[in-house]
Amino acid sequence: MAAEQTSTLTAFYATLKRDLLIAFKRKNDVVNPFMFFVIVVSLFPIGISPESDRLSEIAAGVIWISVLLASMLSMDNLYRADYEDGSLEQLLLSPHPLFFMVLAKNLSHWLVSGLPVVLVSPLLAYMLNLPEEAYTTLFCSLLIGTPIMSLVGSIAVALTVGLGSRGLILAVITLPMSVPVLIFGTLSVQATLNAASPIGLLAIMLAMLAVAVSLAPLASAAALRISVN
């Protein structure tokens, strides 16, 4: 039993390392979602109003919507290359539990496309004149929420990996499942701005993350078996 666990853990780290190396060789997969996020947030002051009071009211919503759109932009890369070069079939035939292999790919995807967005969010919040007391809440909510988006989006990508044109289908499947994360993330920042505690809302998001980590890889694994076979 111990040997099997060690072997599975080794396979998990090998899959994670492989996907990270591939992602950094394909720099567009890293840069495009990040630049898209920065550009979308930067356009809101131009399109709505440069007034600081107006921007501070919409800052949290703007950042969260931009994060959601950037996440969807990067989502299609999750299994596409593996499907095209045949390595996805090898992954399905692996003796290791597919749950952990899918989880490793999801973690790699979040480290490449989600974490940079989270790290730069305080700077963009400053640009949108978000009050300083809300920075920590915004950062924590994004740190919890972006992995949920990656895990939920993984299910949609796994269901449509064999389709030629899947952009609209991905949006239709992913957006409704991501709306609760968007709502609770925005509400947590708003609670801080209203001098209320965001702990309860962040705890709900943590519970959502726990459910997503437990169930989303299972659903993605089942969807991959259906799509590939």
Highest-confidence range of 7-16, 59-68, 77-86, by mean pLDDT? 59-68
Smallest CA-to-CA distance from 100 within 157, 227, 15 is with 15
The secondary structure of 147-200, three-state, reads HHHHHHHHHHHHHHCCCCCCHHHHHHHHHHHHHHHHHHHHHHHHHHHCCCCCHH
Rounded Cα distance between 162 and 227, Å, is 6
pLDDT in tens, 130-170: 888 889 999 999 999 999 998 998 888 888 876 665 666 77
Q: Identify the residue with better confidence: 81 or 43.
A: 43
Mean of pLDDT over the chain: 84
DSSP one-letter string for 39-54: HHHHHHHHHT---HHH
Smallest CA-to-CA distance from 183 within 148, 133, 219 is with 148
The pTM of the full predicted model, rounded to 2 decimals, is 0.87
Rounded Cα distance between 63 and 13, Å, is 32
Please say if the pLDDT value at position 5 is more than 70: no
What pLDDT is recorded for position 101?
87
- The size of the chain, in residues, is 229
Q: Is 214 exposed, middle or buried (0-12, 13-18, 19+ CB in 10 A)?
A: exposed
Confidence of residue 214 (pLDDT cuts 50, 70, 90): very high
Rg (CA), the chain: 18
pLDDT in tens, 59-73: 888 899 999 888 888
Please say if the pLDDT value at position 199 is more than 90: yes
Please say if the pLDDT value at position 207 is more than 60: yes
Q: Is 93 exposed, middle or buried (0-12, 13-18, 19+ CB in 10 A)?
A: exposed
Handedness of CA 52, 58, 63, 66 (dihedral sign): negative
- Residues 102 and 213 sit within 8 Å (Cβ to Cβ): no
Confidence of residue 4 (pLDDT cuts 50, 70, 90): low
What pLDDT is recorded for position 18?
84
Percent of the chain scoring above 90 in pLDDT? 24
Q: Identify the residue with better confidence: 28 or 203.
A: 203
How far apart, in Å, are the Cα atoms of 208 and each of 18, 115, 138, 180, 187?
A: 28, 18, 17, 9, 15
